[in-house]
Amino acid sequence: MYDGTKINHLAASATLLLSIDRLKFALPINEQTGEVIRRPRRADDRGLTFTLIPQLSGNGYRVELKGSLHNFYNHVRDRAALGNSDQFIVDHLLTALDHLVTAYQIDPFNSKLNNIEFGVNVALPFPVALVLQNLVSYKNRPFTRDTRSDTLYYQCETQRYVVKLYDKGHQYGLTTNLLRVEVKVLRMEYLRSRGVCLTTLADLLNVANYETIGALLVDTFKAIIFDDPTIDPTRLTSRERSIYENGRNPRFWHIPDDLTPTQANTNRQRLHRAEQRYRALLSHYRRGADWQTKTAELIAQTWEQLTTVSDDLLTRIDQHRAAWTDLTFGLLLSDKIQAEKLEDNKKNPQNTDTQKIPNSCDGAAINPPETCHELTNLTIPVYGIFSGNLPATCHELTTPEKPDLSRNNPLYLGVIHDTSNTHTTTGPGAIICPVTKVKIDDPWPGQIFVTQTTLRTDRDLLTELEQLFTCYRKGSKEDQPTRTAHNVRNIPSNIRNNLRRKLIRTIYGPGGGQLSLFAASDMVRITDQERAALDYWKGTRFELPI
């Protein structure tokens, strides 16, 4: 069943998480000056790790979540000692997700999964070492062993996922032969390409995915090439002995990285034929049962047992999803808006407590009332609690300056304009990077952003920035500072291009060919910042008719 997960942008309030007693977020402080350092803050709780990562510009945090749902469930049920060594069924998953949503005020429908692990704990009728010590290759890649662990742990990493096999029984001191077979998805496109609809935290309860994922797990294990210790090489002909010796050698299956596409394809076809001959040889000369086939059957049986959903459970799943939908967490004021409001109040004291706000409640008191005359028979919820659909005319729900277009409107485009040409100088020749807000004292002509040279000398800044980017992490030949500087330079153009693409879809529709019946200026309302970003294409063939 599902286990480890990672969400880079958890739909939860950082302010609320900081107020939860269970979460102990350490405050990073410079021991010499006492200054609070802008560094990620972490808190561990019941198998989960919450990380608050400072936004690059302004105040506030991005919330990241990672950890084991299986471990979390056992902690909730006061069975922490079991870890993830027992069986984790759909009913347990529902309990874990419901507790996660309600305890930490998380919106599961907008918490996008970045990594997910799925697998089973299989009880074998033979030693787990028989499987692990005979691993050879998977998809032309060798398995590697974690030599730092006393437990037999092997994995094979591909570009989009990792295949893991290890002795779960030994890990938890059990007397049973318990094999853990698991796939860790690094890129969610891998599942989408297999027909699995798994995007958000709430999608983990999509029952339609279970059969497909189970079949994917079994097929993955079947595709592994194993050695068989029962084969007696003396009984083989010279040709068969060559097939056997090559097949049990991980290096034989490796495809060099420097081949052309044609050469790589030729190698794959050659190795496919070699694999068929090797498997046929094992089947013919094997003494005893085919333990790989037996293990694959047990994996399929175990997965079916874990994911069997009764009518009663299906009803409860629907009820919980409906409850989560009806009780969508109302983030009344985001951390950023709150910070901006406080800053504005400092600059303009007349806009604070006693100032009248047109079309709103009378004054935003320091200790706001529990009810509001604009919300008949309703209680104003605290920040981060489920709020439902509340009107935007109360001082508790809006900032003094009402935005041009509601964020709930599908045409709202909350995009920051391109600031690549508006840097601020702080001295003769000095500039401020518009993305990182880092001062560059001696920029080279035309420089706007921090460079890889700066990042090589400031490892703290490099570490902070690296955690915010996922693009170019895998498969890139650039080193870490160069890759991160590349990502920083891409931010303004990405914002500008994304805004233009959204407007094109709004004006022309998904097909992009037929104009709407209405003028673009009547359909779309954009802010001055967005207008400034669009002016980048003014006078060119990319200019939009807005």
> Which pLDDT does position 214 carry in this prediction?
95
Confidence of residue 248 (pLDDT cuts 50, 70, 90): very high
Query: Could you read off the pLDDT of 38-77 as tens digits, one per residue?
Result: 788 899 999 999 998 888 766 788 899 999 999 999 999 8
Q: Is residue 312 over pLDDT 80?
A: yes
What is the domain partition of the chain in residue ranges?
2-230+286-326, 331-402, 431-537
More confident position, 530 or 327? 530
Query: What confidence category does residue 33 fall into, taking pLDDT thresholds of 50, 70 and 90?
Result: confident
pLDDT average, residue stretch 459-487: 69
Q: Please tell me the chain's helix, strand, coil percentages from 3-state DSSP, rounded to the nearest 5.
A: 40, 15, 45
Q: Of 349-358, 389-398, 513-522, which one has max mean pLDDT?
A: 513-522
Alpha helices in 172-209 (DSSP H): 189-192
Q: What are 121-147's pLDDT values in tens digits?
A: 999 999 999 999 999 999 999 999 988
Distance separating the N- and C-terminal Cα atoms of the chain: 50
Q: Tell me the sheet residues that pair with 49.
A: 44, 66
Q: Is the pLDDT of residue 113 over 70?
A: yes
Report, as an integer, the average pLDDT of 238-256: 93
pLDDT value for 532: 80
Please state the rounded mean pLDDT for residues 522-538: 76
In whole angstroms, what is the distance from residue 344 CA to residue 364 CA? 14
CA-closest candidate to residue 546, choices 513, 504, 496, 487:
504
Given pLDDT bands bounded at 50, 70 and 90, which one contains residue 216? very high
Give the C-alpha separation, 243 to 432, whole Å: 64
pLDDT score at 308? 93
pLDDT at 280 over 50: yes
The confidence band for 347, taking pLDDT boundaries of 50, 70 and 90, is low
Contact between residue 181 and residue 221 where contact means Cβ atoms under 8 Å apart: yes
Q: How confident is the model at residue 158 (pLDDT cuts 50, 70, 90)?
A: very high
Taking Cα atoms as reference points, which of 76, 58, 180, 71 lies closest to residue 131?
A: 180
pLDDT value of position 164: 95
Using left for φ > 0, alpha for ψ between -120 and 50, and beta otherwise, residue 282 falls in alpha
Asked whether the predicted pLDDT for residue 449 surpasses 70, the reply is: yes
Residue 495's closest CA among 413, 415, 433?
Answer: 415
Whether the per-residue pLDDT at 207 is higher than 60: the answer is yes
pLDDT for the residue 477: 62
More confident residue, 9 or 327: 9
| Mean pLDDT for the chain overall | 77
